[in-house]
Structure 1
Amino acid sequence: MTDPKTDGTSVARRALDLLSAFDVRSRRLTLSEMAARCNLPVPTAYRLVKVLTEWGALERGSDRRYEIGRRVWELGLLADVQTEIRQIAAPFLQDLFVATREAVYLAVRQGKSALYVDRLTGRVAPKVYANVGSRLPLHATGVGKVLLAHSPEDVTEDVLAHLRQYTPYTGVDQAKLRRELAVVRQRGFARTMQELDMSTASIAVPIFDSDGLVESALGLVTSDLRKDLSRVLPALHVAAQGIGRSLPPRHGDLFT
């Protein structure tokens, strides 16, 4: 006989997996696409999607594609997304944006993704880049590479074992990426060029806390692929150092 508790947990996990099928690059999905991404039979996915839609977690368009519903957005507004580090970093992000006029992003590592906790952009922001609360891959973003370079070995190995190619320029060779991460640690910054999408480049630096640990990263993203981003490195380092010096000694309280 099936254990109701175990069965309920399984159903809840599958429903959450279906919601997790959406990301910044896939905001609208068909039922079949969701089922394929979650490795679920279409009939099973259909039953769960029906419940999620009735509750408001998903909304179905006239083209039969689904998107995240307003109910999830309303709940998201209640989330305390790294409030303390955002407050600490805010003036430094403002100064950096004024100095560079490029999109500024602050991120922390959450599992195998870069969680974007704050951003500051002008009227024209890079289209595919993250909103606050978005998660993007560690191996294909500037802030992600910085965070990956300073991650525990087990996290790094797990990420390297599941590299996804987003563009022809995404680094998916494990040996090459491992060497690149070593260079990131050595020189103190990471760069990307058309690795997440074909229209952006980025540069990022680590934020060291008072214990010398890297729990967050600061980056700039530009749509001008001809721009020499190395020219903004001094301003980026100054901002990152300012944030790091302002972090409280007990870094763990910020990122739990």
Structure 2
Amino acid sequence: MDEPSVTGTQSVFRALSIMHAFNAARSTLTGPEVAELFGYSPPTAYRLLRALEAENFLIYDPNARSYSPGPEILRLAGVMLHRDALVAQTQTTLIRLRALTGETVAIYWRLGNKCTCTQEMPSPQPTRIEAGIGVDFPLTRGAAGKALLLDLPEAEVRDLLAEPDVPAPIGGARTLLAELTAARKRGYTVSGGETIEGSVSIAAPIPWVRQGLAAYSVIAPESRFGPRERDAAARTLVEEMARLRSILQGNTPH
């Protein structure tokens, strides 16, 4: 027997929850998987999946009997890319950062209580570190995640740490809060091996219309990213953020 009828708002949230379930490690979903993941009955799971397919948010593979993200997502991404000058500028900054540092650079977005790699340009060097586009990391681990917390008041950081789906920071809450305080003064965060073994990364938030939405990251093998190289890359990162902020302020309508 199916669940009782739900409101339109509940249906929207259920459909969005299915979209959120896709990630780099789970690029397809079947009806039974959705039912098990969210506790829906099979008819409810298929009704939601077919509604998303009808609007091109999902596509269905009849051979595998599975659903995957569809072309409507690309259309919306295109709208965003053409919405303002920021996206184009962030791409330009990503190219500049890789050229100036010689290391892998990436943009991470905050999606819920995780940070997700949405753009990445690998280092041209044969030995390099890559996160992978679409890969999620906790906000409490790694330079990128912590960079997304820099603009949050301490009370909000503590509230975040109390949420059940957020892993405890390495060293505990007090250590994380101290790290964020130091990072705010210098303009960037630093992490060693917290998300990818053998790596060192630095990150800084993008001066977006809403703070804490996205961040740049530079990541390299620990063996090549010692204090001197890391400090040089950090100076470059901070300078690029200042340059980007100046450009965006110049493009802001008065």
TM-score w.r.t. length of structure 2 = 0.70
In structure 1, the residue matched to 2:24 is: 24
1:52 alignment partner in structure 2: 52
CA RMSD in angstroms comes to: 3.9
- In structure 2, how many angstroms separate the alpha carbons of the residues matched to 1:183 and 1:89? 25
Q: Give, in whole Å, the separation in 1 of the partners of 2:217 and 2:108.
A: 8
Partners of 2:130 and 2:65 lie apart in 1 by: 24
Give 1:18 shift.
0.9
1:129 equivalenced with 2:128 (yes/no):
no
Structure 1's 152 and 30: CA in aligned 2 closer, same or farther, altered over 3 A? farther
Rate the CA distance shift 1:55–1:208 in 2: closer, same or farther, 3 A.
Answer: closer
Contact 1:92 1:243 in 2 (8 A): yes
Q: Is residue 2:184 matched to residue 1:185?
A: yes
Tell me the residue number matched to 1:244.
245
- Tell me the secondary structure at the aligned position of residue 53 of structure 2: helix
Identical positions, percent: 23
Change (3 A) 1:137 1:205: same
Q: Match for 2:224 among 224, 227, 230?
A: 227
Deviations 1:61-94 (A, max 9, x none): 4444432123333343233477322334444433
Change over 3 Å in CA distance of 1:226–1:126 after alignment to 2: closer
Aligned to 2:141: 140
Mapped contact 1:207–1:241 kept (Cα < 8 A): no
Distance 1:237 1:18 in 2: 37
**Match runs of 1:169-184 below 5 Å:** 171=170, 173-184=172-183
Q: In structure 2, list runs of 5 or more residues that go unmatched.
A: none
Q: Secondary structure in 1 aligned to 2:148?
A: helix
Q: Is the 8 A contact 1:25 1:128 kept in 2?
A: no
Q: Within 1, Cα distance between the matches of 2:171 and 2:54?
A: 40
Which residue identity lines up with residue 50 of structure 1 in the other structure?
A: R
Instruction: Quote how far apart the aligned CAs of 1:40 are.
Output: 3.5
How many Å separate the matches in 2 of 1:236 and 1:41?
49
Task: Supply the AA of the counterpart residue of 1:130.
Answer: I
**Partner SS, residue 218 of structure 2:** strand
d(CA) in 1 for partners of 2:17, 2:216:
29
Relative to the length of structure 1, the TM-score reads: 0.70
1:39-66 CA-to-partner distances (Å, cap 9, x unmatched) read 5444422321233234432234444443
Q: 1:159 to 1:250 in 2, by over 3 A?
A: farther
Q: 1:70 to 1:250 in 2, by over 3 A?
A: closer
Q: CA deviation at 1:235?
A: 1.9
